[in-house]
Structure 1
């Protein structure tokens, strides 16, 4: 630690923590997380109340940041359309990826009748592809540029989600693996391109907070995928306990769940193309 150079320009020892901002942000995030994980039903009055609390706290957080002389987050950063689109896409992509982890095991074991060992082998296909494509995805970002790679990644994710919604009903296990093989490289391309694009359009003084916001949107997406999309799958299967469901019910649940995911990703992809030439506001 003694040999690490101090950067006086980046550190302001007189700054104080914005307590109202921290409190409103924590309340907003906690309320949203609880609303997504409360109980086993898809919609409950308590969940709706917590979502309302999260929305109001989030709005209050923005208000506090605008009036603060030392805000946690400069509200002006959200005028940057690149950041707004990236946060939304990051959220939805994380939701879809978590859906594969939640829905996949049930479909493989109950819908296709695989035992735990074989289901685990199939589930390892995605992480293996991630390992193999992570570094090449970064290299492509450096070669072709982040904006182009984000679009390619979103389309790969879109194609993978459509495949997961349709191919297992026709090709069974092979169709599921094809969907994962399309989805995972798209995810790696999107992550590399999206992170690079966002950081390229922010000032150095905001690198840390922007990186934190990206992580927050990803984590909220993971929570949403595990709860909302899991509940959607359960509602589509319409059998309790879910392990008693018939294979055709599981296929229908896959179709509905990933069909909804494909629609959401399609909207994000279209928005990305439509706004690709819009000027960036720093």
Structure 2
């Protein structure tokens, strides 16, 4: 049976809106609570150390369930996983909004993260079914642009809401948006194409191993970044790596593994994933240290710092569609390599920023970072998705989200280590952090460029029309 190449235009527009809105609120919610943590800790009578788990619970639940839910999407349908995930996200937002204790709020946030994992695990796979093959580059570029801008937008959205309402409203806004996405999704999202062979059995043992591996590694990395917790962090990290070795060896004997070792055997896929890890590690390093640079070192106001940082997502919005149109015309490896060099140049220019630099000097550096990241991300994501067979689109989509969250986690831990070694008082810590971020970006550029020699996924005949 030959599948229809994409959805017809009226349905396609609605389906794209569903995917874009879903990924936007899922990504924004990963960082929207950062500014509200002091208020939450004070109201719920919790210590800052305990309150941070309101953020960690969401991150861990999302990370550990991306691949299992992507595997379910390959078997049961991406549409079903997406809609159930969005329904759970909206309902758990109500629970978080009504939480009157820290344990209740953490539990609600974990459920929220599980719902977000359902959305993020299959969103790119859905794009592959929504768009015709010759326009898929535009769909991937739109998806990448939304992820990049939403990552930067979380604190700004939170600041706007907290200026007029309490932290409970950070969750309340998810409910009507989530229900609207669910209603539109039932009407517009496509079904998976029929498969000739029956799907392999879903293994709950693999789910448990996947959860254990990522949880232990995440908690271990987080503890390593906390002063005085290094022995416990090292223990968790080693335990997670041991579980991972056993888990991946078990996966290597399966035809359609949950952790897609079959896709990792493709050099193009593997190099693209390594590039994604390095790029998101660099992005998170910069994202976390730039507020310190602008507020503490340069003495700018919160409003001025926030406005200057918007140069990054604005440049991403401008360049991402251009990158989407270049897919199929220029090798993705070169686009990604050039993008990461531009990104690294922006990071280095911020690292050497004079103490009394003008707003214009900060703004163009931010824009350079956003433009470089956008030029890299869309072609890189397109390569990851199209290098997988159609029936493994869910696995490729799940790995996209896993690489993003893993890279961001590594970036946060690296920044904690940098701040533990170098002082923040004179801006030395921020300078080192931005230089390290530039190094990660350059490494991502190298692995991206190596894909040109390794070859790339076959492009559809009309790809040049993207």
TM range (shorter): 0.7 to 0.9
Contact map agreement 2:206 2:247 (CA 8 A) in 1: yes
Rounded Cα–Cα distance in structure 2 between residues aligned with 1:281 and 1:189: 19
Show the counterpart of 1:242. none
What is the aligned counterpart of 1:270 among 446, 458, 461? 446
CA RMSD of aligned residues (A): 2.8
Aligned to 1:235: 421
- Tell me by how many angstroms 1:192 deviates: 0.4
| Count of aligned positions | 271
Matched residue, 1:26: 211
Structure 1 residue 199 and structure 2 residue 420: aligned? no
Gaps of 5+ in 2: 1-185, 459-466
Contact 1:35 1:47 in 2 (8 A): yes
Query: Shift of residue 257 of structure 1?
Result: 0.9
For the 8 Å contact 1:164–1:175, the answer to whether it is kept is no
Please list, as runs of the form range in 1=range in 2, the aligned pairs for 1:68-79 lying within 5 A after superposition. 68=254, 71-79=257-265
1:7 positional shift: 3.5
Change (3 A) 1:169 1:267: farther
Residue 405 of structure 2 aligns with which residue?
Answer: 219
Query: How many Å separate the matches in 1 of 2:390 and 2:282?
Result: 31
Give CA-to-partner distance per residue, 1:226-276, whole Å, 9 cap, x none. 2322441353126xxxxxx2xxx21x2222112122223223323443453
Give the TM-score of the pair, scaled to structure 1. Answer: 0.84
Change (3 A) 1:8 1:149: same
Change (3 A) 1:112 1:11: farther
Which residue of the partner structure matches residue 345 of structure 2?
159
Aligned in 2, Cα 1:81/1:42: closer, same or farther, shift over 3 Å? farther
**Runs of 5+ unmatched residues, structure 1:** 239-244
Give, in whole Å, the separation in 1 of the partners of 2:386 and 2:228: 39
Instruction: Quote the offset at 1:153 in angstroms.
Output: 1.1
1:61-210 correspondence runs (5 A): 61-68=247-254, 71-168=257-354, 171=357, 174-210=360-396
CA distance in 1, matches of 2:456, 2:229: 39
Structure 1 Cα separation of the partners of residues 218 and 196 of structure 2: 33
TM-score (norm 2): 0.53
Return the match for 1:37 from 201, 204, 222: 222
Match of 1:258 in 2: 434
Measure the CA separation in 2 of the matches of 1:44 and 1:276.
40
